[in-house]
Structures are given as structure tokens and as C-alpha cells.
């Protein structure tokens, strides 16, 4: 799961403070693992260095850090590339996939395309495994089947999510 | 108190009824279909059960208008009864001359007609009013003063009249009253036998149909019952519940049946065939028969559904039908046939025309033989179907289907087979018996004459003059007629007259005075042999038949034609005029009859082209025959309806394979042909069996009657043709449902 | 070069729009999975593609064995029947075998419908049954076989005429994983050997994994991933 891309995606909605970003992230993606402040600032400084975000002014106040960050054009391009590139199919992807879908919805991009691209990637891997299974011995078959069943679970999740996109969009927009 | 939780039979049956009527629209549709199906059968049964009442009513009324000619003192009423022929109809009636004011009034009218007045039956009134009655009107110049009510009519279509005529003299019958006592149900034994056979034949398919109708939508029911098994109902209880469902259908059928019966009843007097028409208020089933119907139909429904489920095992997860059918055994199926044949054979030669035979062996034999067909058919269909090789895909599909379940098809066509065999038998019996009763062919268009018999004391010269004046008459001969008994055997009619008259009545190729001609009877033997002694009626004079020449059948009532020179020693019983008619005049017969219309009751006319006032039995034969043919047609339709029900049900059950086959490109034509084969194979087998049984049975029954075996090939052909037609019709009617099943929607999973 | 190409297909059942502008292209010899949730219209798409169901609008072009282009929606019922019988093969989820015929007769049926003699048809059928490893049940009725055997008999029947396209609608829907995979393996292997294209409607990813590519149907519209780009 790329925290950087997630933060970039959140910034697409408008400039935010680091603290805001953490709160928004935790709210949407951090159910079991909230981000540390340190993670937020180290990620933001990396994004700054790469030119994906800029500082959009400092607000006067009591807090330790009142910097606002905004996404750059390069940052938008990077988010776009990230969203349209399917994840390498492997088990336990759902965090990333979920984040992608939500960010796509937040930014008004097509979440369906994200899901379809991922489905295609998954199926390609499953085809590969199915072919390997046909040529291999029993041990190969069992190992391939293990992967196939997990990938199938992912794919089922993709299907389900695709079927619930409208519901999710409504929830995200709230 | 400890409440028993033991399942009760009644409770299970009730649950079944509730399942049948409860809930969905589909179950109502099914119930409605069953109700209509069984209802049709019930209505038919109710009409059959009304027959005794109708027949009794008829004979009561006919007896009620018989003249009472014995009494003391001078008769208050003088009567001439008359039968006059008009084309193919008979008009019966009385000419009345009351001599006292309190002369007895005949049934059906409230007063006696005055001179020149007439009461006519509604049917006669209609006939006189119609254009086709135009040539009849001259014979009824009287003033119509009313119509005859039900009490004076045998049936609603009867042509009947009461006319007042003061010309009637003392020489006519003196009547003291109307109505003679009579015995009810006094049907001729042979007719009685025929009617019993007819009823058995007609009612069997109704029973089959009732059975089939309870099986409507059986697949759906099985699924429902499987669900009941799943929640823990035992197999035996499920059977009871299923019986309850059938019961619901049967009860609905009873309601519908009574409804149809009472709806149709008011219209039975509109039937134009007089003998089939009846007065509505009389069409009422007898209590015993009604009760029988009310009890038998539900019992039959329950029993059929139990029998049908015998080989169906309802498991909690669905319905299992025995995949490998038990090989049917032959021997016990032959038992009814064997007993039936034995019974009939034992009765050969014991039957005489006047005596009621030992009825039960005959009827029992016939019924057993009839029932032998549906018992034997399943075995036969199975055997044949296993021998047939599926030469084309359509035939293969049909044959395989039948191999898997030939029982259903065989049961249904069993109904058709019984009708068919029965009809063939009856046709043969009728053909044989008819040949017996009616000793020669009566209608030959080459004979064109009218004989006029003048009653004693009538103005014979006036009649002759009137006939000669008619432009329809080309020549008038006087012939003498006599009736006598040959030895102790049959009666013969003699006609004595010049060759010019005799050749008009029979095909006598080379007529010479001094010769005697005998007509060849339908049996092939001449009516009399030389040397036979004829004893004449009335006079009791005897006459020995001289050498004679045998000629082909004639047209009249006479069996022997005697030229004047050969007629020495013969005593004539009455004289007749033979009027030769002008063939160029249309309706010459009716014109000639109208020429002597003024003599009405003084004359009796006979024309070979008109109705034949021969044996009453013959007329009734015609009626029975028509009734039976109509009945067999109706029941064939009922049987076809059963076939249709089964065929539709099969298409429904096999919806998915049919849809898949159509999807895979199996042409619909192939599927339709396989349906046709599926219907046609059992029907063809049953047709062959029933023709064989019918002909065999017919021959046996005719032998029992001691008559000659005659084949009514035309009738057999007709009925067979109808069966073939029905096969096609049933298949054609299944096609729409096949079309629906093979649409892509049939592929959709539910 | 495309073998079967559908464009702008619409089809309604009453008020339900099963297809709403779907399209798909099938090339010779490829295995294409048609995926999508239940009720998305994937079966209806297959029915229209195969000429079982005429669409309300849209076209279906098929290049037959002689290379000429045929437009299915303008053909009459008889022509489409013949096309399905001679050029296509079908495998459905269940209930496709004629229950009264033996398995061998079931497989031989399409050949006999094309006029082949019974003996020849049954010999060819036997060969195919052997390839699908179901020759042991040749003389049994479908009701007496296991689900997997029945499906393999159905596959043999679909392949016996040497079709150019096999339409398979949830062919493993009623089977467990092992039997399902066996059916899929034999089906796709045999199809690749004979050069038949396979249109595989399924909602099971593992079954779809036997395909070369997938087309997703959603709300009556199809996304032909490859041809969309």
C-alpha cells in the first residue's frame, strides 16, 4: 500500500494541513492501523522533494506545524498512473485496492476502470497459473491451486465491489 | 388430556386439499383445468344417468296416447290413426270425430279439435311454416288451432297432429279413453344388449379421462410433495396428501360437471335428430346413478393417483421414477380376454329374437373382452416399442421416450382403443342385424313408384281417379297383396300383378305371365323355395309355392312376385294401386301424395324413395346406431383430450431438454415429428389391436345372435380415419407449447 | 481476423433490458470468457451471438466455413437452426442431454440430424467419447451417470460435428471444483486441438482462467477489454 499515493489522492480534493491529511487518511483507510505523524511528515517531505506537492503557505497559530500542502501537476499525473496500473496480483491486496477505488471515486475518476484493469491483471496471472498447472505434476498443481483460489477470492471481491460502486460512491461523498 | 399427535388420515387428506387450492395462481389454474376436464366427464356421465328417466318418460307418454278401444256402450270418440310420409320424415297423428260433448281428450291438448281444426306438434308447426314444408301443406288444409303439449309427444322433435274430421264413420275405431298400462323399460332384448355394450364402450374413456385429468401438472405436484418429505412427512403420508390433491380436483370436477349438466340441459330439446332430443325437465339422472357418479368420481381420482404414484418414489430431495421399468408379464393380462371369449362362445346359438337370453354371460363376456384391451395394451406397446429401431432421429427420440415410459401412453390410448373396438363391434353387429331385419335393400333409385293402399270401405275409384289425374303419375296399375307364413318360419309378402307393375318393383329381367319370382334375400337365399307351403294371414288359406325364378333384390315390401296366370288359388288380402311416377317431375312422390291428400286417413302410401314403414325395430336400430356413432365420436374426442393433456404435460416436463435441443440447432420439425411418432406409435398399435378385437368380438356377438357376419368396412374405415386425424390434431395442438418450450426462454434457469 | 462479431445488441424481456448496446468480437480458435454478475445479460449475449435469440436491434456477423460473411439477425429460424447445428456446438449448465437416449445416442444425435447413417454417427460419437474419457458410460442413460460424466458427454456432443464455435454457458455451474476443472481442461484442450473457438459464459474466475481473454458484461453493456482499446 503506497501511503504517498494515498496522500496525493487525498490532496487532489484541495490543499490540507499535515494533521488534516492524517485524519482523512485514518478515517478512510486506517481502520486498524492509524498513521503516525512521523510517517505523514516523512512521506510529505519525500513528495515535496519529488515535486509532487508544494507548500501552499503557513498559517499562524499555536500548533507545531501549520504548513498547508497542495498537489502539483506532476503529482496528479503520478496519482493517475498509479490508479490505472493494476497491482501485481498477490494475496492480501485489498487495502491497496480499496484505497484505489475510494480515491478514484473521490477524485471523480472511473472506479470501474480501476476494477476492470485489476480484474484483467488477475485473470492474466490466473491463466498463467492454469497453464502451468496443466503442464505440471501434482505438487505444481496443488501449489498453483492455492494461488488460484486466493486470486479467485480477490476477483470475487472485485466483482462485489463493482456491484456496490454506487453505494460506495454515495458513502464516500458524504 | 393427552392430545394424540398420531397423524390422522383425514388430516392428511385435508392438507392435500389445502395444497391443491391454497395459494398461488398456478395452483388455481391447475385446479380449474382438472375441474373442467373431470367436469366434462361428469356431465357426460350425468347425461348417461338420465337415460332411464328419458326412456321411461317417452314410453309413458307413448302409452298414454294409445287408444282405449274397449268399453261399454257406444264409443264417445271415433278415431282414425294415420302415419303419413313426407320425404324422409314421418308424421303421425289421429283424425278424431267426437260424438258426445264429453268425448275423451287425448293427452297434450285441452280440447278436441272441431271439424276442420288441427292441433300440431311444435316441430310439425315449424315444418309447415318453412319453405321445405311447402309440398306438405296441401295435406293439412285444416285450421291450426294450437300446439300439442309435452304430454302428447314422445320427444320434442316429433311430428304429430290431432285433427278433427266429421267424415269418420262407425267403421273406424271407437275410442273410450286414452292411455294403456305398460311395462317400463321394455326394451327389445337385443337393443338392450346393444345399449349396454354401447354404454360400457362410451363410459370407459370417460373414466380414463377422469384419471388422466387428475394427473394434470403432476410434475409440479411431485416437487411440492418432495418438499413435504423434506420437512419430515413419511412416504405413506405423502401418498395420502397427494390423494387429497386429486380429491380436490375430483370435487371441483363434480361441481363443474353438475354445472355443465344443468347449463346444457335446457337445450336438449333443440337437438334436431328426433330420437336424440328430449324434454329438458325429464333429463334428470336417477338418484342411484347420481349417487354412483358422486361417489365413483372421487374414488376413481384417488385410486388413479395412488396407482400412478406406485412407481414414483418421492424422496426429500426430489422425485425418483423407477428408471428400469419392470418387464410386464403377459399371462394375467390374457385372463380377461380368455374368460370373455369363453363366455361368448358358450352362448353361441342360445339366442332367439323374442326371448331375452342369458344376459350376464353375454354382457360379461363383452365387457371383459373390452376391458381386456387396456389391460393388454401396455404389454403390447412395450414389446413393440422395444422392437422398433429408431431409423430417423425423430423416430429414435420417440421410441426411446416410449421405451422409458410406455405405460402412460398405453393407458391413455387404451381409452381410444376401447371406443374403437366397441364402435367396430357395434357397427358389425348393426350391419349384421340390419341385414337380418331388413331383408333386402330398400332404396334403389332406379325404382320410382308409389303404392297406395286404400283402407277398407274407402272410395277406391275416387282415389284411382285422383292419382291418374296427377301430372306426376305416368301409369297406374292395380296389384293384389298378401301376407303369409312360410311353413313355421318367416313371413313373406306376395305381390300379384301384371308384369308391367311387377317390373317396376323388382329387377325382373324377362317377365312373363305365368311365372313366379322370388327375391334373393341379403343372406343370398331366395325368400321361398318351390314346394314351400304358405299359410295366409286372416284367411288361413294355404298355397304351395310353384317352381320359381330367383331375381335380385327388389324395392318394395314384397318377397314373392306372382304374375296373374300363376296366381290361381291365391287369396289376396288387399288391393293396392301402383302409380308409376314421372322421373322428370321433381318431388313427383310428394305431388302424387298431394293428389290424394283429400283421402288422408283412408289411404296408406309407400314409396321406395321415402321412409320405410317396415319394422319398428329397424327404425330403432337406425336410432341406436346414430346415437352410438355420435357417442363414440364424442368419446373419441374425450380420449383425444386425454391424449392432449398427457402430451402437453410431457412437453412441459421435458421443457429443458427440448429447449437445449432447439438451441443446438435440432430443427423444430424433427422435434414435432418425434412428438407425432410418440403419439402415433401407441395409437397405431391400439388401432390394430382394437380393430382386431372389435372384428373378433363383433363376429362372436353376431354368432351369438345367430346372424350372418357382415363387415361394415366403410364404417371401420371412417372411425380409423378419425383416429388418424385425431393423432395429427393432438400433435398439432401440442406444437404451440413445443414452440414455447423451444424458445430461448426455455433455456433460462428459474 | 474476426470469426464472430456482434455490434450494438439490445434485447428486452418485458421491461427488463437484458442487453443494452452490447458488442463482442471472437477470433478464430480463441477461448473468450464472458464474465459479469448474475443478471448482467451474459447469457442473453450468448443466446444472441449463437442465433438462439434474435436481438431487438444490432447485428451479428459470422464468417462460416466457406469464408462467406453471414448476418445472423437477418436469417430466418430455419437457417439459424441449420447454422447452429452445423457450425456451432453447445454446452449448458444442466439438462441438455435427452434423458431417454443413451449417452452414445446423445452424442451421435447431431450427426444423425445432418443425415449421417446411424452406424457411422455412433462410431464417430464413440471416438469423441473416448477423447473425453466417458466411453465407459456410452450405453447408459444420462440419468445414470455422474454430473461430471454427463457434462463431458455434453462436451463430446458439442464437439462431434467439428464446430467452429462452441458456446458454453456455465458449463461447470453444477459441478464441484475437481470435476469442473476436468471438464474445462478437456473442453479447452479439445477445442484448441480442433481449432474451435469457445465462447465461455461463466461467473467463476477459475473457469474463466481457462480462457485466452475475457469480456465483461455489466448492465447489458459489454466491455471487450482488448477490442475497446
Lowest-pLDDT choice from B621-635, C150-164, C210-224:
B621-635
- What whole-number distance in Å separates Cα of residue A34 and Cα of residue B478? 136
DSSP string, B341-361: HHHHHHHTT---SSS---HHH
- Residue A130: pLDDT over 60: yes
Residues of A in contact with C204 (CB under 8 A): 152
Closest chain C residue to the Cα of A160, Cα to Cα: C37
- Residue B183: pLDDT over 70: no
Quickly name the fold that domain A3-84 has.
Answer: Arc Repressor Mutant, subunit A (1.10.10)
What would the pLDDT profile of B572-604 be if each residue is shown by its tens digit?
A: 777 788 888 887 877 788 888 888 887 877 787
Q: How far apart are the first and last CA of chain B?
A: 48
pLDDT value, residue C32: 94
- What whole-number distance in Å separates Cα of residue C38 and Cα of residue B690? 55
Listed by start position, the domains of chain A span 3-84, 96-173
**CA dihedral (B637, B638, B642, B648) positive or negative:** positive
> Cβ–Cβ of B397/C98 closer than 8 Å?
yes
- Residue B464: pLDDT over 60: yes
What pairs with residue A69 in β-bridges?
A16, A55
Residues of C in contact with A120 (CB under 8 A): 214, 225
- What whole-number distance in Å separates Cα of residue B203 and Cα of residue C108? 45
Q: Which residue has the higher pLDDT, B710 or B576?
A: B576
> Cβ–Cβ of B397/C141 closer than 8 Å?
no
- Place C229 in a pLDDT band, splitting at 50, 70 and 90: very low
- What whole-number distance in Å separates Cα of residue C102 and Cα of residue C141? 4
**Long-range contacts, B530-539 (Cβ 8 Å, 24+):** B532/B486, B532/B487, B533/B486, B533/B487, B534/B484, B534/B485, B534/B486, B534/B492, B534/B494, B535/B484, B535/B485, B536/B482, B536/B483, B536/B484, B536/B571, B536/B573, B537/B482, B537/B483, B537/B484, B537/B485, B537/B573, B538/B573, B539/B571, B539/B573
- Tell me how long chain B is: 750
Rounded to the nearest 5°, which phi and psi values hold at C210? -80, 0
Cross-chain CB nearest to A152 (options C37, C206, C211):
C206
What would the pLDDT profile of C3-29 be if each residue is shown by its tens digit?
A: 999 999 999 888 888 888 888 999 999
Closest chain A residue to the Cα of C189, Cα to Cα: A134
> Cβ–Cβ of C205/A130 closer than 8 Å?
no
Contact A152, A126 (CB under 8 A): yes
- Residue B747: pLDDT over 70: no
**Is residue A18 exposed (0-12), middle (13-18) or buried (19+ Cβ within 10 Å)?**
buried
The CA dihedral of A122, A128, A132, A135, to the nearest 10 degrees, is: 130
- What whole-number distance in Å separates Cα of residue B273 and Cα of residue B461? 39
Per-chain mean pLDDT for chain B: 77
- Residue C31: pLDDT over 90: yes
Residues of C in contact with A162 (CB under 8 A): 37, 218
Query: Could you count the other beta carbons within 10 Å of the beta carbon of residue C92?
Result: 27
Flag whether residue B744 sits within 8 Å of chain C, measured between CB atoms. Answer: yes
pLDDT value, residue B705: 65
The CA dihedral of A78, A79, A84, A85, to the nearest 10 degrees, is: 60
> Cβ–Cβ of B396/C83 closer than 8 Å?
no
What would the pLDDT profile of B275-306 be if each residue is shown by its tens digit?
A: 667 888 888 888 888 898 888 888 877 887 77
- Place C208 in a pLDDT band, splitting at 50, 70 and 90: very high
pTM of the complete model: 0.62
**CA dihedral (B707, B713, B715, B717) positive or negative:** positive
How big is the CA angle at A45 (ends A43 and A46), to the nearest 5 degrees?
65
> Cβ–Cβ of C83/B665 closer than 8 Å?
yes
Residues of C in contact with B403 (CB under 8 A): 100
> Cβ–Cβ of C206/A149 closer than 8 Å?
yes
Q: Is C134 left (phi over 0), alpha (psi -120 to 50) or beta?
A: alpha
- What whole-number distance in Å separates Cα of residue B450 and Cα of residue B138? 18
pLDDT value, residue B669: 86
> Cβ–Cβ of C110/B664 closer than 8 Å?
yes
- What whole-number distance in Å separates Cα of residue B743 and Cα of residue B658? 9
- Place B620 in a pLDDT band, splitting at 50, 70 and 90: low
pLDDT value, residue B617: 52
> Cβ–Cβ of B661/C98 closer than 8 Å?
yes
- What whole-number distance in Å separates Cα of residue B471 and Cα of residue B582? 8
Neighbour order of strands in the sheet with C69-71 = C16-27, C2-13, C57-63, C69-71
Listed by start position, the domains of chain C span 1-87+163-229, 96-161
For residues B624-636, give the mean pLDDT: 70
Q: Which residue has the higher pLDDT, B24 or C225?
A: B24
Task: Give the closest residue to B569 by CA, choosing from B468, B673, B496, B489.
Answer: B496
For residues A55-66, give the mean pLDDT: 67
pLDDT value, residue B70: 83
For residues A73-92, give the mean pLDDT: 82
For residues B199-214, give the mean pLDDT: 67
Flag whether residue A152 sits within 8 Å of chain C, measured between CB atoms. Answer: yes
> Cβ–Cβ of C37/A148 closer than 8 Å?
no
> Cβ–Cβ of B749/C93 closer than 8 Å?
yes
Task: Give the closest residue to B566 by CA, choosing from B517, B533, B525.
Answer: B517
- CA of residue A48 relative to chain centroid, distance: 20
What would the pLDDT profile of B73-83 be if each residue is shown by its tens digit?
A: 888 888 888 88
Closest chain A residue to the Cα of C35, Cα to Cα: A159
**C-alpha cell recorded at residue C92:** 449448458
What would the pLDDT profile of C60-80 be if each residue is shown by its tens digit?
A: 999 987 888 889 888 888 888
- What whole-number distance in Å separates Cα of residue B719 and Cα of residue C71? 50
Say what percent of chain A tops pLDDT 70: 91
DSSP string, A72-99: -HHHHHHHHHHHHSPPPP-SS-HHHHHH
**C-alpha cell recorded at residue B118:** 288441427
Contact B395, B677 (CB under 8 A): yes
> Cβ–Cβ of C216/A119 closer than 8 Å?
yes
CB contact set of B597 (below 8 Å; sequence gap of 6+): B138, B139, B141
Q: Which residue has the higher pLDDT, A19 or C225?
A: A19
- Place B442 in a pLDDT band, splitting at 50, 70 and 90: very low
Flag whether residue B400 sits within 8 Å of chain C, measured between CB atoms. Answer: yes
pLDDT value, residue A65: 59
Kindly provide the ipTM of the predicted complex, given to two decimals: 0.80
What would the pLDDT profile of B373-410 be if each residue is shown by its tens digit?
A: 878 888 888 888 888 877 788 888 888 888 877 777 77
- What whole-number distance in Å separates Cα of residue B549 and Cα of residue B138? 43
**C-alpha cell recorded at residue C181:** 476443472
pLDDT value, residue B354: 45
Q: Which helix (H) or strand (E) element contains residue C187?
A: helix C177-194
Residues of C in contact with A163 (CB under 8 A): 37
DSSP conformation class of B325 = P
Q: Which residue has the higher pLDDT, B207 or C229?
A: B207
CB contact set of B525 (below 8 Å; sequence gap of 6+): none
- CA of residue B485 relative to chain centroid, distance: 33
- Residue B200: pLDDT over 80: no
Flag whether residue B324 sits within 8 Å of chain C, measured between CB atoms. Answer: no
Residues of C in contact with B656 (CB under 8 A): 94-96
- Residue B273: pLDDT over 50: yes
pLDDT value, residue B466: 84
Lowest-pLDDT choice from B105-114, B174-183, C219-228:
C219-228
- What whole-number distance in Å separates Cα of residue C75 and Cα of residue B665? 14
- Residue B353: pLDDT over 50: no
- What whole-number distance in Å separates Cα of residue B417 and Cα of residue B419? 5
- What whole-number distance in Å separates Cα of residue C119 and Cα of residue C102? 15
- Residue B495: pLDDT over 90: no
Tell me the residues of chain A between 115 and 134 that have a Cβ less than 8 Å away from chain C: 116, 119-120, 122-123, 126-127, 129-130, 134
pLDDT value, residue C165: 93
- Residue A13: pLDDT over 70: yes
- What whole-number distance in Å separates Cα of residue B518 and Cα of residue B191? 31
| Selected residue of A112, A116, A149, A156 to mutate for chain C interface (largest C Cβ count, 10 A) | A116
Quickly name the fold that domain C1-87+163-229 has.
Answer: Rossmann fold (3.40.50)
- Residue C222: pLDDT over 90: no
> Cβ–Cβ of C110/B660 closer than 8 Å?
no
What would the pLDDT profile of B503-536 be if each residue is shown by its tens digit?
A: 777 777 788 888 888 887 656 677 777 888 888 8
Residue C117: helix, strand or coil by DSSP? coil
Q: Show which subunits contact B, needing at least 3 CB pairs below 8 angstroms.
A: C
**C-alpha cell recorded at residue A140:** 505444481
What would the pLDDT profile of B138-156 be if each residue is shown by its tens digit?
A: 888 888 999 999 888 888 8
Residue A137: helix, strand or coil by DSSP? coil
Tell me the residues of chain B between 647 and 666 that have a Cβ less than 8 Å away from chain C: 654, 656-657, 660-666
> Cβ–Cβ of C208/A126 closer than 8 Å?
yes
Shortest distance between the Cα of C60 and any Cα of chain A, in A, equals: 25
pLDDT value, residue B192: 63
How big is the CA angle at B366 (ends B364 and B368), to the nearest 5 degrees?
65
- Place B493 in a pLDDT band, splitting at 50, 70 and 90: confident
Flag whether residue A149 sits within 8 Å of chain C, measured between CB atoms. Answer: yes
Flag whether residue A155 sits within 8 Å of chain C, measured between CB atoms. Answer: yes
Residues of C with CB under 8 A from a CB of A: 33, 35, 37, 185, 203-206, 208-212, 214, 216, 218, 223, 225
Task: Give the closest residue to A131 by CA, choosing from C31, C119, C151, B175.
Answer: C31
Q: Show which subunits contact C, needing at least 3 CB pairs below 8 angstroms.
A: A, B
- What whole-number distance in Å separates Cα of residue B643 and Cα of residue B37? 12
Amino acid at each position: 500500500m503506497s501511503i504517498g499515493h494515498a496522500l496525493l489522492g487525498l490532496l487532489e480534493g484541495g490543499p490540507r494541513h499535515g494533521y488534516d491529511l492524517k485524519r482523512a487518511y485514518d478515517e478512510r483507510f486506517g481502520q486498524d492501523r492509524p498513521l503516525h505523524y512521523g510517517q505523514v511528515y516523512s512521506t510529505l517531505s519525500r513528495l515535496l522533494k519529488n515535486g509532487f506537492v508544494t507548500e501552499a503557505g503557513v498559517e499562524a497559530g499555536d500548533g507545531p506545524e501549520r504548513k498547508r500542502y497542495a498537489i502539483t501537476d506532476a503529482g496528479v499525473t503520478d496519482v493517475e498512473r498509479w490508479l490505472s496500473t493494476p497491482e501485481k496480483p498477490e494475496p492480501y491486496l485489498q487495502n491497496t485496492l480499496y484505497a484505489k477505488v475510494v480515491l478514484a471515486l473521490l477524485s471523480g475518476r472511473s472506479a470501474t476502470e480501476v476494477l476492470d484493469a485489476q480484474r484483467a491483471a488477475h485473470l492474466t496471472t490466473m491463466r498463467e497459473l492454469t497453464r502451468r498447472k496443466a503442464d505440471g505434476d501434482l505438487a505444481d498443481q496443488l501449489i498453483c491451486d492455492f494461488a488460484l483460489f486466493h486470486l479467485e477470492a480477490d476477483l470475487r471481491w472485485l466483482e462485489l465491489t463493482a456491484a456496490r460502486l454506487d453505494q460506495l460512491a454515495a458513502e464516500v461523498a458524504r | 388430556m393427552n392430545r394424540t399427535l398420531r397423524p390422522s388420515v383425514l388430516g392428511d387428506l385435508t392438507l392435500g386439499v389445502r395444497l391443491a387450492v391454497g395459494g398461488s395462481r398456478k395452483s388455481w389454474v391447475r385446479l380449474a383445468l382438472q375441474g373442467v376436464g373431470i367436469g366434462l366427464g361428469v356431465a357426460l356421465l350425468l347425461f348417461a344417468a338420465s337415460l332411464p328417466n328419458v326412456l321411461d318418460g317417452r314410453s309413458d307418454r307413448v302409452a298414454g296416447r294409445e287408444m282405449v278401444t274397449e268399453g261399454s256402450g257406444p264409443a264417445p270418440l271415433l278415431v282414425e290413426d294415420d302415419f303419413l310420409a313426407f320425404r324422409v320424415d314421418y308424421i303421425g297423428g289421429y283424425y278424431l270425430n267426437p260424438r258426445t260433448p264429453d268425448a275423451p281428450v287425448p293427452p297434450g291438448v285441452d280440447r278436441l279439435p272441431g271439424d276442420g281444426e288441427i292441433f300440431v306438434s311444435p316441430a310439425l308447426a315449424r315444418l309447415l311454416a318453412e319453405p321445405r314444408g311447402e309440398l306438405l301443406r296441401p295435406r293439412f288444409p285444416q285450421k291450426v288451432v294450437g300446439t300439442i303439449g309435452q304430454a302428447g309427444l314422445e320427444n320434442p322433435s316429433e311430428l304429430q297432429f290431432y285433427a278433427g274430421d266429421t267424415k269418420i264413420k262407425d267403421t273406424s275405431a271407437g275410442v273410450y279413453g286414452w292411455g294403456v298400462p305398460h311395462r317400463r323399460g321394455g326394451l327389445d332384448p337385443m337393443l338392450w344388449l346393444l345399449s349396454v355394450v354401447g354404454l360400457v364402450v362410451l363410459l370407459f374413456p370417460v373414466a380414463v379421462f377422469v384419471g388422466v385429468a387428475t394427473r394434470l401438472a403432476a410434475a409440479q405436484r411431485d416437487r411440492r410433495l418432495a418438499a413435504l418429505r423434506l420437512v419430515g412427512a413419511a412416504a405413506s403420508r405423502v401418498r395420502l396428501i397427494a390423494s387429497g390433491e386429486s380429491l380436490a380436483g375430483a370435487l371441483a370436477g363434480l361441481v363443474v360437471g353438475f354445472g355443465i349438466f344443468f347449463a346444457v340441459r335446457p337445450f336438449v330439446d333443440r337437438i334436431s335428430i328426433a330420437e336424440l332430443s328430449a324434454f329438458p325437465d325429464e333429463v334428470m339422472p336417477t338418484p342411484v346413478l347420481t349417487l354412483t357418479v358422486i361417489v365413483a368420481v372421487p374414488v376413481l381420482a384417488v385410486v388413479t393417483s395412488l396407482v400412478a404414484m406406485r412407481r414414483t418414489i418421492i424422496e426429500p430431495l426430489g422425485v425418483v421414477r423407477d428408471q428400469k421399468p419392470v418387464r410386464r408379464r403377459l399371462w394375467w393380462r390374457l385372463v380377461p380376454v380368455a374368460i370373455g371369449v369363453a363366455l361368448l362362445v358358450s352362448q353361441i346359438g342360445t339366442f332367439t329374437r323374442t326371448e331375452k337370453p342369458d344376459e350376464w354371460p353375454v354382457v360379461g363376456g363383452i365387457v371383459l373382452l373390452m376391458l381386456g384391451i387396456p389391460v393388454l395394451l401396455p404389454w403390447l406397446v412395450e414389446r413393440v416399442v422395444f422392437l422398433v429401431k429408431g431409423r430417423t432421429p425423430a423416430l429414435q427420440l420417440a421410441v426411446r421416450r416410449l421405451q422409458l415410459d410406455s405405460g402412460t401412453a398405453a393407458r391413455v390410448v387404451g381409452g381410444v382403443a376401447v371406443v374403437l373396438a366397441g364402435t367396430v363391434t357395434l357397427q358389425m353387429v348393426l350391419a349384421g342385424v340390419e341385414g337380418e331385419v331388413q331383408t333386402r335393400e330398400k332404396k334403389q333409385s332406379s325404382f320410382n313408384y308409389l303404392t297406395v293402399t286404400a283402407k277398407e270401405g274407402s272410395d277406391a275409384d275416387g282415389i284411382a281417379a285422383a292419382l291418374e289425374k296427377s301430372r306426376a303419375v305416368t301409369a297406374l296399375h292395380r296389384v293384389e297383396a298378401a301376407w303369409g307364413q312360410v311353413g313355421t318360419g318367416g313371413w313373406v309378402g306376395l305381390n300379384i300383378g301384371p308384369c308391367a307393375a311387377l317390373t317396376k318393383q323388382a329387377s325382373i329381367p324377362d317377365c312373363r305371365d305365368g311365372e313366379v319370382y322370388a327375391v334373393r334375400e341379403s343372406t343370398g337365399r331366395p325368400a321361398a323355395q318351390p314346394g314351400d307351403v304358405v299359410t295366409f294371414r286372416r284367411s288361413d288359406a294355404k298355397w304351395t309355392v310353384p317352381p320359381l325364378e330367383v331375381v335380385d333384390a327388389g324395392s318394395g315390401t314384397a318377397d314373392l312376385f306372382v304374375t296373374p296366370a300363376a296366381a290361381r288359388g291365391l287369396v289376396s288380402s288387399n288391393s293396392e294401386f301402383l302409380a308409376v311416377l314421372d322421373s322428370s317431375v321433381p318431388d313427383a312422390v310428394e305431388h302424387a301424395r298431394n293428389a290424394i291428400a283429400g283421402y288422408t286417413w283412408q289411404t296408406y302410401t309407400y314409396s321406395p324413395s321415402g321412409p320405410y314403414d317396415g319394422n319398428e325395430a329397424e327404425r330403432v336400430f337406425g336410432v341406436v346406431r346414430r346415437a352410438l356413432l355420435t357417442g363414440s365420436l364424442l368419446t373419441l374426442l374425450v380420449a383425444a383430450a386425454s391424449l392432449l393433456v398427457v402430451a402437453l404435460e410431457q412437453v412441459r416436463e421435458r421443457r429443458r431438454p427440448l429447449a437445449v435441443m432447439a438451441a443446438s440447432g435440432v430443427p423444430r420439425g424433427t422435434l414435432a415429428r418425434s412428438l407425432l411418432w410418440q403419439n402415433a406409435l401407441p395409437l397405431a398399435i391400439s388401432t390394430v389391436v382394437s380393430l382386431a378385437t372389435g372384428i373378433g368380438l363383433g363376429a362372436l356377438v353376431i354368432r351369438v345372435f345367430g346372424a350372418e357376419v357382415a363387415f361394415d368396412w366403410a364404417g371401420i374405415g371412417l372411425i380409423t380415419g378419425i383416429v388418424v386425424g385425431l393423432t395429427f390434431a393432438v400433435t398439432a395442438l401440442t406444437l404451440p407449447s413445443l414452440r414455447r418450450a423451444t424458445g430461448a426462454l426455455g433455456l433460462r434457469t428459474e | 481476423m474476426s470469426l464472430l462479431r456482434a455490434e450494438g445488441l439490445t434485447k428486452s424481456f418485458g421491461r427488463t433490458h437484458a442487453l443494452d448496446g452490447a458488442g463482442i468480437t471472437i477470433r478464430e480458435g480463441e477461448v473468450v470468457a464472458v464474465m459479469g454478475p448474475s443478471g448482467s445479460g451474459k447469457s442473453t449475449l450468448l443466446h444472441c451471438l449463437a442465433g438462439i435469440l434474435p436481438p431487438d436491434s444490432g447485428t451479428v456477423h459470422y464468417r462460416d466455413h466457406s469464408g462467406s460473411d453471414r448476418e445472423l439477425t437477418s436469417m430466418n429460424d430455419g437457417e439459424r437452426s441449420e447454422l447452429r447445428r452445423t457450425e456451432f456446438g453447445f454446452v449448458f449448465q444442466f439438462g441438455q442431454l435427452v434423458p431417454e437416449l443413451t449417452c452414445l445416442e446423445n452424442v451421435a444425435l447431431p450427426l444423425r440430424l445432418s443425415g449421417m447413417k446411424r452406424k457411422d454417427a455412433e462410431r464417430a460419437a464413440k471416438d469423441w467419447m473416448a477423447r473425453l474419457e466417458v466411453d465407459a458410460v456410452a450405453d447408459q442413460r444420462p440419468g445414470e451417470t455422474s454430473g461430471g460424466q454427463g457434462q463431458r458427454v455434453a462436451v463430446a456432443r458439442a464437439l462431434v460435428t467439428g464446430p467452429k464455435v462452441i458456446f458454453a454457458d456455465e458449463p461447470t455451474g453444477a459441478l464441484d471444483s475437481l470435476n469442473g476443472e476436468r471438464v474445462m481442461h478437456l473442453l479447452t484442450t479439445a477445442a484448441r486441438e480442433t481449432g474451435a473457438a469457445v465462447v465461455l459464459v461463466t461467473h467463476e474466475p477459475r473457469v474463466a482462467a481457462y480462457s485466452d481473454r475475457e469480456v465483461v458484461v455489466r448492465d447489458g453493456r459489454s466491455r471487450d477489454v482488448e477490442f475497446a482499446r
